[in-house]
Structure 1
Amino acid sequence: MSSYVDATSGAVDHCQLMAQQQPDLAADYYKIASSCKEKLWHQLTLTILDLVSKPTTTLRSTPEGTNSYLALYDKVVLSIDTKLNPLSLARIASYVAASLTAKTSDEKDTTAAKAVLENLLANKKDTLGTPATIFVQSKLSLLSLNADDKTKLDQIKTIVKSNGELLKEMIDARDTSESAIVHSAHYEMAMTYYKVVGPPESFYDQAMSFLNYAPLLETTDDAKTAYYHQLAVDLCLAALTGEGVYNLGQVVSTPVLAMLANTPESWLVDMLKACAKGQVVEFNTLTTQYADAIAKQPALVHRATAVKEKLTLLALVNLVFEKHSSERTLGFQEVADRLHIDILQVEWVIMRALSLQLIEGSMDQVDQTVSVTWVLPRVLDTTELQALAGRFGEWAVKVSKTKDYMQEQTPTFA
């Protein structure tokens, strides 16, 4: 006599019960049940992912009072988990874990959320594969960081470094959705870690990488809006105060900064743009105008000297960039006037710029000039691109005239 038991029977029964209890979600639950019966695992995966990715509209309680996502995971997903793509399974588990902390920071919910991911790592460590493992570890670490669990910082530090190296070694398939999902999960966790422990330049690097893989999309979700608003604030502060962060045009062009438009923090974007262009007068005006707001930002207060130095150096970089390549021998007085510093400070500023490799060239202390042969590459805005295009046009004209002159001066032989 056969002892075969259909593992999906309980899953189907659960879906049918939930369809009866939640009529507005009946279509989704019946679709999941149908996919289970017909063993359409890909369609089932897509339906579940779609359902659990919208907690504001689909997260409910079961008749027993259980979180509906957790019940779906326990009674349906785990019963057919061997049939699912490992990364899809990991994504479903992460949505379930997130739902347990979405509306409360209660420790019991956080513990339950961690348990979902910890059990997945423990029970499926041989079948998850590297991408899904990185994804789950990232989401689990993020839960600890958001719960302010300081006991996990050393462990998370190891995960940030080891998984970062693994991602670099993996074949670059950034244009695939699965690769983007894994990378964005890692970088979100990494930037959150560095926001907690510092330094700001490490947060900046990870945040920019996160935005490369998880670009900002239009959203009406209040939670997501608040999340990206805070990220924009943190990114501005990190760009201004981070050591070695000089290519500010990169962050200025990031769409996430638009989240600060018409908000009390919009001054941060104005300061960042002024610093990026080395506009000393405008930056100082903003500093005076928003002194009270700046005083409430510890990062700007504690690193005020570093920010001032960055502004001065970028003013020099912009001065050089605006010059034609044939006009890049600058007098100390011109530099002092542009940077709004005493002429006695010019030599130090130039030496500092040379040591940081913001410029290359040589300095003549006797004649008080600096000749620049190279300047830091940078992300250009529309106005700067138009100016550069104009220079290319002038260069093309000069080349054409030189060619004509050479042709005229070249003797012809019969």
Structure 2
Amino acid sequence: MSTMYQQMDLDQNPIVALRGLRKHASGELQDYFDAFEDLYERKLWHQLTLKIEEFFSLPSSGQFQIPLFQNFISDWENKMNKLKLVTLGLTASKQFNDNNEALGFLTTLVERVSKPETQDVYVLAVMETAFKKLLLGDLEGTKRAIDESQKILDTFDSVETVIYASFYRVSADFHKAKGEYAGYYKNALLYLACIQLEDVPIKERIDRAYDLALCALLGDTIYNFGELLMHPILDSLSGTEHEWLRALLLAFNAGDYGRFEALQPYFAKQSLFTENFGHLLEKIRLMSLIEAVFRRSADNRTIPFTSIAAETRMRIDEVEVLIMKALCLKLIRGTIDQVDELVVVTWVQPRVLDTNQIDGMRRRLEDWDENVKRTARLVENETPELFVQ
């Protein structure tokens, strides 16, 4: 707990509490305490809230935040915007060195906003309290908080972005603790959609990008990396020891088995990759199959098993099982001709394209355009009467 809070035995009178804190403040902070007292006595609650927020943003204010919140802000909190109240409380809670003490502090904060008219802000307090429970290993308590918050959020058309950000961040961390790759991937991307990336410390950005890349590759239902590949969070890995992960994601997205093999020496850096190598191998082969289909024009998607075996580095007797897996995962649609060992693909899952794939699509469109023109000329030459003006 804050050293200042342990040393001081503050009177419950808010002005006395302020003056007691002021005695321990440095010169740059004493002016704030004078302003707090003046605004409080003049009942200028909005201006006072803004001044408190400014004070809490100062690194040197840390030791004063808990006693100020409990002995001063609590006196007039009913005059304060409840989102600001919770936000200040969350800032103060970071001053606790013990997670159990922080949990107790946040639990009282939850109680202060547990009213029908403040249900949106209640979610923010509940989710941040759940995060402390998660740090303490209380997965069941965290899950209950997530479920309760989800039900409340479903009743709103919209809430403040900071509330959604808290919900998705804690939900992502919960799935990470449970080792649920797809759950983490989904919620972490939703969290990133709710924040400004530049507001996130660089270390947190690197950790988040690393975890997202890991989950994208290991998730057994994730075969479309588009949203992640387009997000600037991946730039955080550039120049770090994890830069190879971005290259691996790009290899999977392109179905590039050769690049996958070239990056395999890096797998020793992450035990999950060595433990799940079989899954990664199947996944890169599925992505190679998708890429092989995508490179073909729409009228040329009857593919021999031998071609797929060459693309995916598999034995020909293993190809049919791979195709069936792709059909089950709805990565492609089509039919299998077991006798002639062919697959006829009618649809392939959309995905984000890299520059080489875009160039390939451009060439196919040019070929299609030329075919249309050639057909038009043929029809015109064979049936000129149709074109008589």
TM range (shorter): 0.7 to 0.9
Does 1:43 pair with 2:47? yes
Deviations 1:271-306 (A, max 9, x none): 22212221111111110x32431xxx2322322211
1:111 maps to what in 2?
100
Say whether residues 1:244 and 2:221 are aligned partners. Answer: yes
Encode CA deviations 1:69-115: one digit per residue, 9 max, x unaligned: 112212332121111222221111111112224xxxxxxx3233222
C-alpha contact (below 8 Å) 1:200/1:242 kept by paired residues: yes
1:376 pairs with one of 349, 357, 372: 349
For residues 196 and 365 of structure 2, what CA distance do their matches in structure 1 show? 33
Give the TM-score taking structure 2 as reference length.
0.86
Q: CA deviation at 1:116?
A: 2.0
Secondary structure at the aligned position of 1:311 is classed as helix
**Matched residues in 2 for 1:169 and 1:301: separation?**
44
Q: 1:16, CA displacement in angstroms?
A: 9.4
Match of 1:333 among 288, 296, 306: 306
Closer, same or farther in 2 for the Cα pair 1:41/1:315, shift >3 Å?
Answer: farther
Contact 1:249 1:381 in 2 (8 A): no
Contact 1:191 1:204 in 2 (8 A): yes
Counterparts of 1:267-346 in structure 2 under 5 Å?
267-287=244-264, 289-293=265-269, 297-346=270-319
Q: Percent identity?
A: 26
TM superposition shift of 1:361: 0.9
Number of the residue aligned with 1:5: none
Question: Which of the residues 192, 196, 210 maps onto 2:173?
Answer: 192
Are the structure 2 counterparts of residues 159 and 385 from structure 1 closer, same or farther at C-alpha, using a change threshold of 3 Å?
A: farther
Alignment partner, residue 81 of structure 2: 85
Structure 1 residue aligned with 2:325: 352
Structure 1: distance between partners of 2:82 and 2:48: 14
Tell me how far apart the structure 1 counterparts of residues 387 and 360 of structure 2 sit (CA, whole Å). 40
Distance (whole Å) between structure 1 residues aligned to residue 21 and residue 244 of structure 2: 53
3-state SS of the aligned residue for 2:333? strand
Taking the aligned partners of 2:362 and 2:273, their CA distance within structure 1 comes to 36
**Amino acid of the structure 1 residue aligned with 2:278:** T
Indicate the SS of the match to 2:139.
Answer: helix
Distance 1:39 1:405 in 2: 86
* Deviation, structure 1 residue 209: 1.2
User: Which residue matches 1:155?
Assistant: 141
SS at match of 2:198: coil
**Contact kept in structure 2, 1:336 and 1:342, CA below 8 Å:** yes
Structure 1 residues 269 and 39: alpha-carbon distance in aligned structure 2, compared to 1, 3 A threshold = same
CA 79–326 in structure 1, closer or farther in 2 if over 3 Å, else same? same
TM-score, scaled relative to structure 1: 0.81
Change over 3 Å in CA distance of 1:153–1:398 after alignment to 2:
same
CA distance in 2, matches of 1:32, 1:362: 74
**Contact preservation (8 Å) 1:117, 1:136:** yes
Aligned mates of 1:286, 1:41 — CA distance in 2:
59
Matching of residue 143 in structure 1 with residue 132 in structure 2: yes
State the partner residue of 2:4. Answer: none
Cα pair 1:86 1:127 within 8 Å, conserved: no
Distance 2:76 2:375 in 1: 74
Which whole-Å CA distance do the structure 2 matches of 1:79 and 1:350 have between them?
67
Please point out which of 338, 346, 364 is paired with 2:337.
Answer: 364
Q: Quick one: distance in 2 between partners of 1:381 and 1:33?
A: 60
SS at match of 2:386: coil
Look up the SS of the partner of 2:239 in the other structure.
coil
**C-alpha contact (below 8 Å) 2:267/2:273 kept by paired residues:** no
Query: Aligned Cα RMSD in Å?
Result: 2.9
Q: Hey, what's the Cα distance between the residues in 2 that align with 1:138 and 1:184? A: 10
AA partner of residue 320 (structure 1): V
- Tell me the amino acid that sits aligned with residue 240 of structure 1: L
* Offset of residue 350 of structure 1: 0.6
**Residue 216 of structure 1 contacts residue 256 of structure 1 at CA under 8 Å; is this kept in 2?**
yes
SS at match of 2:94: helix
2:116, 2:23 → 1: CA distance? Answer: 32
Contiguous gaps of at least 5 residues in structure 1? 1-7, 61-66, 102-108
- Separation (CA, whole Å) in 2 of partners of 1:383 and 1:40: 61
1:295-353 superposed Cα distances (whole Å, 9 cap, x missing partner): xx232232221111111111111221222212222111111111111111111111110
Which residue of the other structure, out of 65, 90, 96, is the alignment partner of 1:69?
65
Q: Distance in 2 between matches of 1:376 and 1:94?
A: 43
Q: 1:386 to 1:76 in 2, by over 3 A?
A: farther
AA in 2 matched with 1:281: G
Structure 2: gaps spanning 5 or more residues: 1-11
383-392 or 194-203: bigger deviation:
383-392
Give the deviation of 1:392 after TM superposition: 4.8
Closer/same/farther in 2, CA of residues 327 and 53 from structure 1, 3 Å limit: farther
After TM superposition, give the deviation of residue 29 of structure 1 in Å.
4.3
Q: Deviation at 1:155?
A: 1.9
**Does the 8 Å contact 1:11/1:79 carry over to 2?**
no
